[in-house]
Structure 1
Amino acid sequence: MAKSKAQQASSCTSRCKCNYDVFLSFRGEDTRKKFTDHLYTALIQAGIHTFRDDDELKKGENIEIGTKKAIQESRLSIIVFSNGYASSRWCLDELVMIMERSRTVEHTVVPVFDDVDPTEVSQQNGRFGEAFAAHEQFFIQEMKYRVEGWRAALREVADIGGFVLQDR
C-alpha cells in the first residue's frame, strides 16, 4: 500500500531527528547584513527554529561536521543565492549536502535568488560562470567529482523555482 504525503512526512519526522525547522544557507559576506538577516529575524519572530551558522555553531566546533548535522536535522532548507555564492567552495559543498538530503528524505528546498537571475545559476554563466572558471583551474584534480557535483546541484536547485529578488 502506497503512503500518502502526510504519512511520508510523518514517517520522515519519526526517522529523522529534526532539531531545526529551517536550515538557512547563504554567502555571509554578500547577504548576512542585508536580506538574510531580515529573513532570519522574521523566521525567529514567527517561532520558526532556524539554523544560521554564526548563531548555532559553537566556538571550536568543526564547521563541516556541525553544518552537515544541522542539514540532516532540518525539515527544510532556504538557499539564498547571491552574486558571490558560486565563488565560495564552502557554499557549493553545503548546497551539494542539501540537495543530497532532498533526494533521500522528505526535505523541502526553497531557493531565493537575491539579485541573481535563476538562469545564471542553472547555466553557470555570468558571475557564476566566472567563479566556475576559477574553480576549474584550482580544482583540476577534483574536476570529475567535485566541480561536476557542484554544477549538477546548481542545475537541480535552479529547476525547483523559487523567489527572485531584484534591486531596483
Structure 2
Amino acid sequence: MSSSSCTTKYDVFISFRGEDTRETFTAHLSKALENKTIRAYVDDRLPRGEEIWPTLEEAIESSLMSIVIFSENYATSKWCLEELVKIIQWREDHGQVVIPVFYRTEPSHIRYQRGSFEKAFAKHERDFAESESNREKIRKWRKALKKSADICGWHSKNYA
C-alpha cells in the first residue's frame, strides 16, 4: 500500500476509453461533477514527461470512489484494463465505492467478454500471451471485467 492511501485528493477517479467518450459522455460527466464542486480525476491531467502508471495508481488510491465508463472499445486499451484491475483490487481491499457505467454496451458483453470485448481479448492474446506473466495479466483483466459487470451500475439505454 502506498502512502497515498491515507490521503484523499479526489472525490472520484474516472476510468474511460478516450477515443469512445472523452469528448462526449466523459466530458459532460466531468463538467457536471465540477459544477457540483466534486473533485474528479480525469487522465488528461497527467503532467507531460511523468511516469503514467504510478500517477494513475496514486489517483485511484487517493479517490473516494471510482466511476468506470465501459464503452465499446474499453477493452482494447491495456491502460483501461490495468486501471480496472487496480480499481477492483482497491474496492476489495479498502472498500472503495465503484460505479460502472455501461455506455452503449451491454453488461453481459463485459461479464462474459462477448462482442467487442471478445475481439479485444482475442487481439491481446495474439499480441502478447507468449509468456506466463502476460497470460496471468490477461486472466486478471478478465476477472476484473466480470467482477465489475456484477456491480449494480448505470446503463445509458435507460436514459436515451
In structure 2, what is the equivalent of residue 34 of structure 1?
24
Task: Report the 3-state secondary structure (helix = DSSP H, G, I; strand = E; otherwise coil) of the residue aligned with 2:150.
Answer: helix
Residue identity in the other structure for 1:65: P
**Aligned with 1:23 (options 13, 21, 31):** 13
Unpaired segments of 5 or more residues in structure 1?
1-14
Structure 1 residue 16: Cα displacement: 2.2
In structure 2, what is the equivalent of residue 79 of structure 1?
68
What TM-score do the two structures reach when normalised by structure 2?
0.92
Taking the aligned partners of 2:104 and 2:36, their CA distance within structure 1 comes to 25
Number of aligned positions between the proteins? 153
**Aligned with 2:96 (options 107, 131, 139):** 107
Residue identity in the other structure for 1:54: D
Taking the aligned partners of 1:144 and 1:33, their CA distance within structure 2 comes to 33
Taking the aligned partners of 1:39 and 1:116, their CA distance within structure 2 comes to 18
Residue identity in the other structure for 2:13: F
In structure 2, what is the equivalent of residue 132 of structure 1?
121
**Aligned with 1:155 (options 124, 138, 146):** 146
Structure 1 residue 105: Cα displacement: 0.5
The superposition leaves residues 137-162 of structure 1 with CA deviations (integer Å, 9 ceiling, x where unpaired) of 11212443100000000000000020
In structure 2, what is the equivalent of residue 52 of structure 1?
42
Residues 139 and 147 in structure 1, CA contact (< 8 A), matched pair in contact too: no
Structure 1 residue 49: Cα displacement: 0.6
Residues 20 and 49 in structure 1, CA contact (< 8 A), matched pair in contact too: yes
Residue identity in the other structure for 2:148: V
Unpaired segments of 5 or more residues in structure 2?
none
Moved over 2 A (4+): none
Residue identity in the other structure for 1:93: E
Taking the aligned partners of 1:126 and 1:153, their CA distance within structure 2 comes to 17
The superposition leaves residues 82-121 of structure 1 with CA deviations (integer Å, 9 ceiling, x where unpaired) of 0000111110011001111011102000000000000000
What TM-score do the two structures reach when normalised by structure 1?
0.87
Higher CA-based Rg: 1
State the identity %: 42
Please say which of residues 58-67 and 40-49 is displaced more in the overlay. 58-67
Residue identity in the other structure for 1:23: F
Taking the aligned partners of 1:109 and 1:44, their CA distance within structure 2 comes to 19
